[in-house]
Chain A
């Protein structure tokens, strides 16, 4: 709601008053019997996160608005656009309050029925409800769905539950309360830092460095001018929690950064966000303008006399800019290439000033920690890894989406309970954790508790929390090749081990996938990987061999099958397979002949067809076309 009338808040009391004034507006979402505010009887929350938007959520918004207007309900029913609700697989999805009814997979033509039945009649429409996969029973309240029930949402509490373009709704949900609390102790920031340390929060961008200690380094660094940076350059393919947080609850990030600035002693901050996230950037801009209008950001914050300014920098597309020294150079307007440390950014970072950099999820955890105390946060998680972690569930799982779980949960629970197991009843093969810098874990490793140390021990890493699950149809050598082609392209080229090493490893992997692998290739890959890990300048090069090492460690037999038997066990490497038609099964319907893009299939009607293997490009279209006889296979 950019139409909100915002008057500057001059004190913590003003903020409290604004909260109390805002509470009745959202009361029916929390308590069905709450008195109506402004005659509004219903809130229809529609997820329009980038994911749901691409499933057509914007059309659902339009359909509701049109239908409510037609029925004369547009003054009494509020349509609220929300950020990521988490269960992307089910999009477009909505929640209708006060009845708390959760509808999934909606189409615009379904809307009049929902308005009639649920809004006017107060009855859920069964066919739009989520149905449990096993009991097949409809579930009305989303909290009862296993996907949500097993999560622990302390960071994503607002995500998908408030209008992210309304600062009023954020404040109604205790927003900026932590900032007010921090400002009340602004002469004793030691105590605030102590809370952050006590929380045990560790960097959520991948490295896992203790946040409080990191802040302390920058805070103690000599210099009057200091900067803080939010790394929102979420470049790991398969991770989208930072985008969802920025789109769904942007003020939480702002509040975390403002508090961080106070504790560290910085008066200026940058959010470095990738240009591939246009909606996140838009939401952040709106949020910054609102916070400035309210006096929560800018000069003399909440009348405290303390000032802090925040800027957005759009990234220009370079994965290496996730590395903090590279990111700093990019903000300075230079090529985003890393530099050797020391000096560490905490001593000499942006424009040679002490600089502290954390990622979106780390910053966004700060308001909760300051509001509820470090002990509260540390009550979640394991000995060495406190709090919760947001995972992006993708790949071949049934329930794709975003899940926040306490550290220490097993990967099996995340994959098989929350994510619902593997699609199409296929078999689980591996989970890739931590993007191109992480590793693949096989089934034998997924019963360990998820924390920073156990993942590194298993040959993967937390990374930013992207989980890409693969099934028996995925070739692990090809997956390693895929990651290497990514890191090879993204290597900035500054240091030789990464630049040349990634190219060499990619060449070997490509040859293996093409059936040109030689005995000794696996050992050579292992040797290269070890050397590149040890000698690369920055995190990109140091971690790029991880996918190779972990796939060799757990799936060596697949490498061997490619090299010695010239076979791809998963049937994915195009050069190692042929397509053929079982003449006994073929009914001669001609469907495959029609769809083949290179006319490689021939045969008369009602007679068995044959594939010309010289012409065949192995695209797989014919297998999908052969629905009647299932006569085509690859081997």
Chain B
């Protein structure tokens, strides 16, 4: 797991103003879009930001925490610059996605859910990204990489590190 602790971070709450502004006209059901936008802003959901969202939307923090922990998309700790999602869907599974995940773990030195120490990469698994015809697949940020072979993984990762 990444070494950075989610607490004790300096969170610039002013950055949330743009988020609140964008959804101010949405009468109801704005919690999830606000959380998604806040996560886009910070890369994760700092507890302090959740407090601010609770105040702004007048929703109890307990309820917000319940929503955040329910959905796979939300993160309470910082993530890397690039998000790698290794697909473990059915089509990928029968085409040996387990070995792709192994080579990702070896290349990055982290387990799924973890972030590299330099905060470059976060490794996640995903149940399906809908590129089943090119299995096994992984997605880095919004790029899908298909027909993977374990030995090709490091080269793909190299193209993302700078």
Interface residues of A (CB under 8 A from B): 50-51, 53-55, 88-89, 91, 234-240, 243, 275-279, 313-319, 330-337, 351, 392-396, 400-402, 432, 435-436, 466, 468, 470, 474, 479, 482-483, 486, 489-490, 492, 597, 619-621
Contact = CB atoms under 8 A, between A and B. Distances in A.
A447 B119 CA distance: 53
Nearest to B129: A276
Chain A CB count within 10 A is highest, among B72, B128, B145, for B128
A318 B71 contact: yes
Nearest to A396: B94
Nearest to A331: B29
B135 A394 contact: yes
Contacts of B33: 313-314
A171 B74 CA distance: 39
Contacts of A315: 73
A243 B130 contact: yes
B146 A54 contact: yes
Given A237-B89, A482-B93, A489-B127, 4 more contacts: A51-B133, A53-B143, A240-B130, A279-B142
B146 A55 contact: yes
Contacts of A317: 71-73
Contacts of A333: 28-32, 67
B91 A55 contact: no
17 contacts: A54-B131, A54-B144, A55-B147, A88-B133, A238-B89, A238-B91, A240-B130, A240-B131, A276-B128, A316-B32, A316-B73, A317-B71, A331-B29, A432-B90, A466-B90, A468-B90, A486-B127
A313 B34 CA distance: 11
Nearest to B137: A54
B128 to A, nearest CB: 4
A394 B28 CA distance: 40
A1 B130 CA distance: 25
Given A316-B72, A394-B91, A482-B93, A400 B32 contact: no
A395 B36 contact: no
B71 A54 contact: no
B93 A393 contact: no
Interface of B: 28-33, 35-36, 63, 66-67, 70-74, 85, 88-95, 99, 102, 106, 126-135, 137, 139, 142-147, 150
B134 A55 contact: yes
Contacts of A337: 70
B147 to A, nearest CB: 7
Given A314-B33, A466-B90, A479-B94, A51 B67 contact: no
Contacts of A239: 128, 130, 132
B72 A401 contact: no
Nearest to A597: B106
Given A237-B91, A395-B94, A619 B131 contact: no
B92 to A, nearest CB: 8
A337 B71 CA distance: 11
Interface of B is mostly: mixed
A317 B130 CA distance: 14
Given A50-B130, A237-B89, A316-B32, A619 B102 contact: yes
A475 B141 CA distance: 33
Nearest to B36: A314
Contacts of A432: 90
Given A55-B134, A468-B91, A278 B32 contact: no
A316 B28 contact: no
B134 A237 contact: no
A276 B71 CA distance: 13
Contacts of B29: 313, 331-333, 351
Given A51-B146, A333-B67, A490-B127, A394 B32 contact: no
Contacts of B132: 237-240, 392, 394, 400, 466, 468
Nearest to A278: B142
Contacts of A474: 94
Contacts of B143: 53-54
A493 to B, nearest CB: 9
A432 B88 CA distance: 16
Contacts of B139: 276
B32 A277 contact: no
Shortest 7 CB-CB distances between A and B: which pairs? A237-B89, A317-B72, A88-B133, A400-B133, A316-B71, A333-B31, A54-B144
A55 B67 CA distance: 36
Contact of B70 (A55, A335, A470, A482): A335
Contacts of A235: 127-128
Contacts of A351: 28-29
A238 B136 CA distance: 11
Contacts of B133: 51, 88-89, 240, 392-394, 400-402
Nearest to B71: A316
B131 to A, nearest CB: 5
Contact of B94 (A91, A236, A470): A470
Contacts of A240: 128, 130-133
Contacts of A619: 99, 102
